[in-house]
């Protein structure tokens, strides 16, 4: 039997001297070659391999300080970007004063013996009148060759003028608006308070100097009147000035002649609308493509002087069986043509004595004089109505149309 604790076959002995067959012998040279070398501190510094220690500043890990510094840097950069981005447009401290646009309206009723013009179907509605030589539509709104002002560059001036021309065209020359649609492009160019004023006037017109639809736009009751010719003749001049530092004042004085038809009788006639706008534009407004309307003065003829004209223009038509009238002579000796004999251009005559009373308490004070505007259609003569000085009125002002238009 084998000894206790030995394998059944007995202990395995290797060589003749009894050594284990797997025993490895390490000689002295091998041992010396295998001596481990602990690098010194300088060696560790050179190799970059050293024990990592967590640095602390006032008991706080240094990595925390670095994270805080990085966060503060990001915040400073963001604040700086917002600050300089807000100043990039160069907006001055002055901003155009707020408030509703004042809408002054005058209706001219034909005097005794004055018969509105009857147009023959298919005939040129402007033939034989000064409007025959006017431009069609938007091209009739002339812009000045203004280069720059003290605080506005030439591109900024041009941008402001185009913004104004877009507004005028959208409210006066859009066939959809003539039939009652909203002039969305014009409305969106107004600041929020005047946008609400315009929309309220279109949806719920009132015969006053703030909420009348026809104080803003040219439109007719589509159930009774249609515009016979979409080629509206326009003669409008535009002036620009900078009476207040950082604010442009743009005035447009324009005449718009429409050929309209009564749906029940089929009678055609000409309908003339003379408007004077006063716009204020500052640099924030230019940046946002927005303007402010200070006031709009409107003279419409021939038109019934009724409160209903606050919602739609109400052209007066001649009798259906009346003979066609000759076109008016714009160069009358009395100088009552649209531009009068002074400059020889003439326009449909519309003169008379205003019967409405303008309340002085309703006048909107003008902080600065209006720039000179060349009147292109007559106003009621001998009346206190002056579109360049008048600031307010209550309801429609009635006048007398002294000659056919």
Q: Residue 289: which of 203, 139, 167, 143 has the closest Cα?
A: 167
Q: How would residue 268 be classed by pLDDT, with cut points 50, 70 and 90? A: confident
Q: Is 187 left (phi over 0), alpha (psi -120 to 50) or beta?
A: alpha
pLDDT in tens, 81-120: 776 655 444 444 445 556 899 898 888 888 777 778 888 8
Instruction: Tell me what pLDDT residue 109 has.
Output: 85
Instruction: Tell me what pLDDT residue 110 has.
Output: 82
- SS3 assignment, position 202: helix
Instruction: Tell me what pLDDT residue 404 has.
Output: 64
Instruction: Tell me what pLDDT residue 234 has.
Output: 95
What burial class does residue 35 get, using C-beta atoms within 10 Å of its C-beta: 0-12 exposed, 13-18 middle, 19+ buried?
A: exposed
Please list, in sequence order, all residues whose beta carbon lies within 8 angstroms of the beta carbon of residue 98, skipping any fewer than 6 positions away.
191, 193, 292
Instruction: Tell me what pLDDT residue 127 has.
Output: 87
How does DSSP assign 251-317, residue by residue? EEEEEEEEEEEETTT--EEEEEEEEEEEEEEEHHHHHHT-BEEEEEEEEEESB--SGGGGTSB-BPP
Residue 107 forms beta bridges with which residues? 300, 398
DSSP state of 34: T
CA distance 272 to 249: 26
Asked if the model's pLDDT at residue 61 lies above 50, the reply is yes
Which segment of 59-68, 114-123, 184-193 scores lowest on mean pLDDT? 59-68
For residue 248 the two structure tokens come to 């442009």
Q: Which stretches of 222-262 are DSSP H helices?
A: none
Which residue is listed with tokens 């204020």?
Answer: 280
Instruction: Tell me what pLDDT residue 123 has.
Output: 82
Q: How would residue 42 be classed by pLDDT, with cut points 50, 70 and 90? A: confident
Asked if the model's pLDDT at residue 215 lies above 50, the reply is yes
pLDDT in tens, 169-185: 999 999 999 999 999 99
pLDDT in tens, 139-164: 999 999 877 888 999 999 999 999 99
CA 287, distance to chain mean position in Å, is 9
CA distance 216 to 202: 9
Task: Decide: 389 and 370 in contact? Cβ < 8 Å.
Answer: yes
Instruction: Tell me what pLDDT residue 350 has.
Output: 35
Asked if the model's pLDDT at residue 35 lies above 80, the reply is no
Highest mean pLDDT of the ranges 37-51, 270-284, 359-373: 270-284
Asked if the model's pLDDT at residue 25 lies above 70, the reply is no
Q: Residue 399: which of 364, 369, 357, 370 has the closest Cα?
A: 357
């Amino acid at each position: 039997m084998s000894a206790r604790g030995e394998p059944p076959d007995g202990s395995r002995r290797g060589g003749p001297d009894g050594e284990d067959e797997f025993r490895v012998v390490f000689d002295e040279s091998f041992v010396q070659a295998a001596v481990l070398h602990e690098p010194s501190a300088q060696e560790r510094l050179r190799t970059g391999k050293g024990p990592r220690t967590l640095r602390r500043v006032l008991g706080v890990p240094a990595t925390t300080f670095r994270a805080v510094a990085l966060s503060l840097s990001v915040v400073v950069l963001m604040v700086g970007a917002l600050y300089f981005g807000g100043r990039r447009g160069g907006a001055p401290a002055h901003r155009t004063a707020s408030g509703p646009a004042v809408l002054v309206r005058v209706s001219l009723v034909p005097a005794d013996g004055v018969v509105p013009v009857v147009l023959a179907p298919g005939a040129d509605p402007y033939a034989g009148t000064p409007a025959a030589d006017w431009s069609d539509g938007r091209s009739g709104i002339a812009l000045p060759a203004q280069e720059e002002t003290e605080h506005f560059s030439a591109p900024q001036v041009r941008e402001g003028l185009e913004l104004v021309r877009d507004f005028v065209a959208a409210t006066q020359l859009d066939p959809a608006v003539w039939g009652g649609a909203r002039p969305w492009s014009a409305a969106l160019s107004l600041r929020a308070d005047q946008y609400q004023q315009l929309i309220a006037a279109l949806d719920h017109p009132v015969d006053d100097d703030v909420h009348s639809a026809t104080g803003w736009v040219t439109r007719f009751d589509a159930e009774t009147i249609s515009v016979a010719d979409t080629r509206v003749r326009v003669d409008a001049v535009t002036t620009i000035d900078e009476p207040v530092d950082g604010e442009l004042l743009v005035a447009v004085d324009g005449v718009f002649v429409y050929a309209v038809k009564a749906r029940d009788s089929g009678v055609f006639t000409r309908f003339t609308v003379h408007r004077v706008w006063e716009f204020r534009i500052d640099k924030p407004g230019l940046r946002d493509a927005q303007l402010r309307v200070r006031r709009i003065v409107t003279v419409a003829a021939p038109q019934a002087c009724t409160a209903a004209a606050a919602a739609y223009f109400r052209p007066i038509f001649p009798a259906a069986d009346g003979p066609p009238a000759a076109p008016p002579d714009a160069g009358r000796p009395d100088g009552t043509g649209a531009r009068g004999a002074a400059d020889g251009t003439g326009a449909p005559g519309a003169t008379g004595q205003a019967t409405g009373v303008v309340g002085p308490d309703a006048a909107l004070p003008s902080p600065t004089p209006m720039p000179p505007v060349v009147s292109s259609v007559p106003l009621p003569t001998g009346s206190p109505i002056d579109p360049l000085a008048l600031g307010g009125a209550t309801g429609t002002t009635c006048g007398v149309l002294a000659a056919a238009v």
